[in-house]
Structure 1
Amino acid sequence: MNWDVLVHLAGWFSNPRKPLMTLIRRVLRGTRRSVSRPEREPIEDVRGPVAENSPRPQTRLSVPNRAALAEEYAKGVPVDELVRRFGVHRTTVHRLAAQAGVAVRRRGLDERGRREAARLYEKGMTLEEVAAKLGVGDETVRSAVVTSGGTIRQRGRRPSL
């Protein structure tokens, strides 16, 4: 039997895949020794180490901008305006204000506002309607109603007034 013909036929009908061919070429060519890169020293500035490969874009405020943000916050400038002006997240505004020693403002209702929210809700307004009237979030109204001893109605059609 002629083995050369059989080997040739086997090669003719086989269909080696690209990854296999790549592996064979690399084995035949020989492995190259990989050169390890020297370790880089961490990058630092006056604020400390700089984060690398952050999954989200971050705005790093300079020391004067941090002071300006804290000063504006202390004057009572709304957080949403500071977020827009400085390009940071609202939690960053609160964190920087606290770091600067400024008392952090909490949005919400005082005792009188909580009683008013509970009264309006008990009269038949929805949480969203009370929230819009008082200029707060519906979760703030829900909390005020529960704190005042009220119960939250089930969702759905309101009873006619």
Structure 2
Amino acid sequence: MHLPADEPISPRETRNPWLAKLTRDFLVGVLGAYSNLKLAARQLHDLLKITGERRISREPTPLVARRDGRIAAREKQRIVHAYYAGVSMKELARRYAIHRTSIRDVLEEGEVVLRKQRKISPAQVDIAVSLYKQGMSLARIGERLDFNAQTISMHLRRAGVTIRSANG
């Protein structure tokens, strides 16, 4: 899209040339970023190198081509292959920006034998209870024990622990 530098974007902006330039620059920047993703990715990579960031993902996040809520056959194959390669359903859901149950549906449709889900042990529940009583948050306990905060919360409730308010 070409925006002539000497023409205002709207009649309202003719009264404020600074706003007209700012708006024009913003639109050109946004449209440029969306029209040249390789350049934007290269610039981001260079910026991360300059700042010393070490965690640069080499794997692009795939986008699922969906029409009418359906996942394309090619994407389903990729999901199945990634699962066989050891990628978790949670990670696949994050990568493809869809819910875990949708990933599970794709895997079941592909007749994939699902891996057993890890279960929290009684010893881990005891640790969680102790940490929670010491004031640690559900999220931090979850990170420490490698479980979701909701899983920790559910097991603490079952153990008779009263869950604190998230705001206080």
Structure having the higher Rg: 1
Question: Under TM normalisation by the shorter chain, which class is it?
Answer: 0.3 to 0.5
Q: TM-score, normalised by structure 1?
A: 0.45
Q: TM-score, normalised by structure 2?
A: 0.44
Give the structure with the higher percent helix. 2
